[in-house]
């Protein structure tokens, strides 16, 4: 069983991932973010097909305390955030390494 990448965020954020082939996504409009973000994240956390959940760092602030705690402590799917202070390949590399325990980009 293969694990899929899922993306949650504004349509502007998810479009690039969708063009790259990500099939699981939830578009959350900017003007209704507080109301819909919790439901979108909770749904992805219970989806057995999702192995990696990608969100924008800033969207974490819009989650309720309970859902934010659930997503930040989830082992599967693992949360990967983009943007904010951890932006760039180094930040993403460290998040993936921390999440799965190995460095996928390590050169032999």
Cα–Cα distance measured from residue 53 to residue 29, given in angstroms and rounded to the nearest whole number: 18
Stretch 71-93: mean pLDDT: 73
Cα–Cα distance measured from residue 65 to residue 61, given in angstroms and rounded to the nearest whole number: 9
- Please indicate whether residue 108 or residue 13 has the higher confidence score (pLDDT): 13
Which pair of structure tokens corresponds to residue 61? 């602030």
Which pair of structure tokens corresponds to residue 65? 């305390």
Which domains occur in the chain, in start order? 4-100 (3.40.50.10580)
Band (pLDDT 50/70/90 cuts) for residue 24 is very high
100 pLDDT higher than 70: no
Residue 41 CB-density burial (10 A; 0-12 exposed, 13-18 middle, 19+ buried): buried
Coil vs helix vs strand at 27: strand
Looking up tokens 């390494």 gives: 97
């Amino acid at each position: 069983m293969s694990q899929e990448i899922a993306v949650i965020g504004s349509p502007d954020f998810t479009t690039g991932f969708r063009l790259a082939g990500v099939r699981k996504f939830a578009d959350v409009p900017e003007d209704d973010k507080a109301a819909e973000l919790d439901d979108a994240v909770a749904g992805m956390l219970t989806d057995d097909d999702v192995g990696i959940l990608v969100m924008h760092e800033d969207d974490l602030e819009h989650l309720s305390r309970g859902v934010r705690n659930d997503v930040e402590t989830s082992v599967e799917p693992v949360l990967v955030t983009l943007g904010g202070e951890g932006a760039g390949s180094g930040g993403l590399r460290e998040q993936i390494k921390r999440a799965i325990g190995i460095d996928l980009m390590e050169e032999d």
